Amino acid sequence: MKKFLLFLAGLVALTILLANLGPMILLGVSVWLLYVVFKQFMKSESTAGKIAWVVLGLIILSVAVSNIYAVIGLAAAYGLYWIYKNWTGKKETVTKSDDPFTNFERQWADLNK
């Protein structure tokens, strides 16, 4: 039953992710453009150039804010990651020991797998 519910949750998360793929791409591009505008703003020496870069930055910022639904897509991507981790069922066991050789032996065994 647990696997079936994980499958349904994964299907829903995948659908949400695919539906928000466009806004996620536009949000990424707009954040990159904001970075480029900021770099050009810092390089600009004239006041008119700085004002032009600020206006362009505000326009790009409005595009970024309008694609805020991309955060839902990012949450769905994280949900898919979480479902994948739970699907495999592998649990990491962390042993606390003050003996450094115990931890070394465990790490050596992990490397030899």
The answer to whether 64 and 27 are in contact (CB under 8 A) is: yes
Question: What would the two tokens of residue 44 be?
Answer: 């600009």
- pLDDT by residue, tens only, the chain of 113 residues: 778 888 888 888 888 888 888 889 999 999 999 999 999 999 999 999 999 999 999 999 999 888 888 888 888 889 888 888 888 766 656 556 666 667 777 777 888 87
SS3 51: helix
Query: Based on C-alpha coordinates, what's the Rg of the chain?
Result: 23
Contacts of 52 (CB under 8 A, 6+ apart): none
Exposed, middle or buried: residue 6 (CB in 10 Å: 0-12, 13-18, 19+)?
Answer: middle
